[in-house]
Amino acid sequence: MEQPVKPRERVIPEEEESGFDIMEWVAHFIGHWYLFVIGLVIAFGLSYMQNRKWLPEYKSTGSVIIDDSRTMMNSAQVMMQGFGIQDAYRNVNNQVIMLGSYDLLGRVVDSLPALSIDYISQGRFKVRNLYGQSPVVIHTDYIAPEAYGILFKLSISEDGTFLITEEEENLRKGFALRGRLGKTFQHNLFFITVNMAEGVVHGKKEVYFRFRSRESLISDFSGRLRLNFVMEGSSVLEISLASATPARDVDFINKLCEVYLISNLERKNDAASKTITFIDKQLESVAEELSMSEDEFTSFRRRNQIIDVGSFSGDLLSKAAAYDTEINQLKLKESYLDYLVKYVKTNLQDGSIVAPTNLGLNEPMLMALVQQINELIMKRAELPEKSMFHSKYTREIETVKNAINEMVRNMQVSMDIQKKDLNRRYAEVQQEINQLPAKELEMIGIERRYKMNDSYYTLFLQKRAEAEILKASNTPDNNILDRARVINVVNQGEKSKTTLLFLLLGLVVPAGFVVVKELLNVRIMTNRDVEKYSSFPLIGMIRHTNSDNPFIVAANPRSSFTEMFRIIRTRIEFITQRKDKITIMVTSSESGDGKTYFSLNLASVYGLASPRTLLVDLDIRKPSIHKRLGVENSLGLTNFLVGQCKAQDIIMRPDGAGFDFIPAGTIPPNAGELIRSEKLRTLFAKLKEYYDYIIVDTSPIGVVADAYSFADLSDINLFIVRSDKTHKLFLRTLTAQLKSDNVHDFYSILNDVELKSNSYSRYYSRKYAYGNSRRYGTKSGYGYGYGYGYGYTKVSDKKNSDGTYYQYYQDDAHDI
């Protein structure tokens, strides 16, 4: 008994194992070349339209010198060290933060009222800001919050009237306001006066405008402001802005530098002003006491006609006055300590603290603490409350406050001891004075009070004069090096980038469409799909043809279409190890896959090789081969199986066919039982004795089980998969089930493949050694793949009866 032939193990190429075949995707992209052409044309058009809107953006820049030296301080600045603001404001990094702070930018915006209205010219493509070039000027008295950001259109007529409309319909449909030039126009949105710009002739004008809020302007300039040092380690800071409105940026940078210097000077003068305010409050009370004591002293001398006191009493009076001066200075220090405790407790947010050196309190440790807390207060003032550094500075301020309070308590204890000692010595002098005559004693007391208040008043006047000198001598720490000017265009290459981006999108979008289309495609399209979703090896493909002739092989035996069937025939011979007699079963997953069409042409190509070729229509549930062959189906296989006729009565040879044919016969009610019958097996055993090749067209195996019953009678089973019809998941499930059922010797055929282009064809020619390319050269090897084949030499191209071309080849060994 002949042993069944085991199918040869598939050798999977390395690129197949990888799951990705770049040449397959290249073929997909080339097959959709028209999408890429359309995409590039559209992309080029869009890039052209976008580039028409392009406006050059200019970089405007100015620079300031931040003076951080500490060696050029004059005496007034030495005095200001106690306020702790010199180091804080000379810190270069702090200066950068201050320049970009919200408050400083707000002051700049407030100083440039022209920024509050954008005048806009709208062309067909370009939109330009008319800063400094607007033909009209709008003066505002009131703007409602909802009017900010809305684009209005201002149309001026020759008669001096104007019409304001709102193009974007943010307010209401049909919004229109009418007014007259030079007259204040009042509406619930705004109070404005519209005038023609200086030097502009009256006439029809049209311009767009938009009100800008303070917050939007600060946000706009803050986002575009760039602060950079010209080189590492340098204190020259470059301030730059970039936009399509360079005149506006130049004005803003110049005003920013001016406001920055003014702010710097104001902060330096703040400490001196606080000192003067403190001294003025003390002078008010001292001046009143001095006036009273002076009046009392003058009145006593006039009333008692006293010109001068004696030398002894004068010495006592001098001692008492000296003690009074010391006591007054001690009281001044106590007043400062009281002020310091109160200020640290309640008014830290108001700014810097008055320095102790300005009031005669030369305590180095206290001066250092005051300087430190002033620095921390000013650093914290430049930061938003939500900043992490704001909370850090707050914690450090609390630590310094505690240290100041502790030192003040210690100093107050020390001053109490000094005060007790002064009071003791003063009491001793007072005892000596009490021994003087009564009138002289009274005179000494009055004069002592007068001199004490006078020295006290003189001390405050001296300190106030020093503070005024300090304030008058203050100058900004920084200087403007270069006023703002326009440097260059910063977006010169934007047009090229836009074009490149759109062209890239013109390629990416079609490519993405192709990828998504292929990934979402649920039907088998290529050999790659068959290999991925089928458990059976793929041994050939049949290309799509528009011919209605079911016998293309018989009609055109030398066409490239026929050559595909020869390739399949050769592979079948190789798989079956060139057996002399072969039975081939043809089935598919469902009806319409082209198995009958394939069976007819496969029988034709075997008929060219051997006249003992038989085609059997075993699709007895839905027979159709007899219609294509033009024969009757009244007597066939089913009639033989039920005993109505003999075997020789059902075998016929259709006209023009190179093979014998057994029709299906009358459609039976028990098709499954007939195919499983022993009589069918006996029939095929006898047919195999006579015929070399038997091709059996069975019912779709994915619909009915007839092919299951016959599979063990065949030497090889061909499973037809139709391109763009067979579903991937159905194919995977069906072939996996067949494999799990141990149904052997199944091989796949991909039918109706659409070779869309020469490159697409060449791709599959490379994979399976056949295709529709006509450029092979004079001596071209035409291999069959799988390590097996023979050569052909092209002779000429010939025309088929259906108008298509095929290549005529000569076998290197013999004539075909």
pLDDT at 426: 76
Higher pLDDT residue, 354 or 452?
Answer: 452
Cα 334 to Cα 325: distance, rounded to the nearest angstrom? 14
Both tokens of residue 617? 């229509």
Percent of residues, the chain, with pLDDT higher than 90: 36
pLDDT at 418: 83
pLDDT at 250: 94
Higher pLDDT residue, 737 or 814?
Answer: 737
Is residue 784 within 8 Å of 776, Cβ to Cβ? no
Cα 179 to Cα 799: distance, rounded to the nearest angstrom? 85
Which tens digit of pLDDT belongs to each residue from 229-276? 888 777 888 999 999 999 999 999 999 999 998 887 877 777 777 777
Entry pTM: 0.54
Is residue 370 within 8 Å of 84, Cβ to Cβ? yes
Mean pLDDT in residue range 402-431: 82
Number of other residues whose CB lies within 10 A of the CB of residue 551: 18
480: pLDDT confidence band, cut at 50, 70 and 90? confident
Which tens digit of pLDDT belongs to each residue from 297-333? 677 666 665 555 554 456 666 777 777 777 777 777 7
pLDDT at 532: 87
CA–CA distances in Å: residue 589 to residues 43, 426, 535, 726? 44, 126, 13, 8
Four-residue CA torsion sign, 739, 743, 744, 748: negative
Cα 717 to Cα 695: distance, rounded to the nearest angstrom? 10
Cα 421 to Cα 133: distance, rounded to the nearest angstrom? 79
Cα 599 to Cα 585: distance, rounded to the nearest angstrom? 9
Q: Which residues are paired to 136 by β-bridges? A: 196
Tell me the pLDDT of the chain averaged across its residues. 79
Number of other residues whose CB lies within 10 A of the CB of residue 405: 14
pLDDT at 355 over 70: no
Which tens digit of pLDDT belongs to each residue from 167-219? 777 777 778 899 999 899 999 999 999 999 888 877 788 999 999 999 999 99
Four-residue CA torsion sign, 99, 227, 55, 126: negative
| Structural domains present in the chain | 14-18+521-811 (3.40.50.300), 32-54+492-520 (no CATH), 263-481 (no CATH)
Give the type of residue at 345: K
Cα 756 to Cα 364: distance, rounded to the nearest angstrom? 94
Minimum mean pLDDT range among 56-70, 751-765, 783-797: 783-797
pLDDT at 756: 54
pLDDT at 784: 30
If you write DSSP's letter for every residue of 682-718 in order, what string do you get? HHHHHHHHH-SEEEEE---TTT-SHHHHHGGG-SEEE
Minimum mean pLDDT range among 283-297, 720-734, 742-756, 797-811: 797-811
Which tens digit of pLDDT belongs to each residue from 481-499? 889 899 888 888 888 899 9
Is residue 40 within 8 Å of 507, Cβ to Cβ? yes
Which tens digit of pLDDT belongs to each residue from 703-715? 898 898 899 899 9
Mean pLDDT in residue range 588-611: 92
pLDDT at 559: 84
Is residue 782 within 8 Å of 792, Cβ to Cβ? yes
Element (H, E) at 152: strand 151-156
CA–CA distances in Å: residue 244 to residues 49, 224, 343, 492, 708? 19, 12, 50, 12, 79
Helix axes 33-52, 494-520, angle to 10 degrees: 150
CA 50 to chain centre: 20
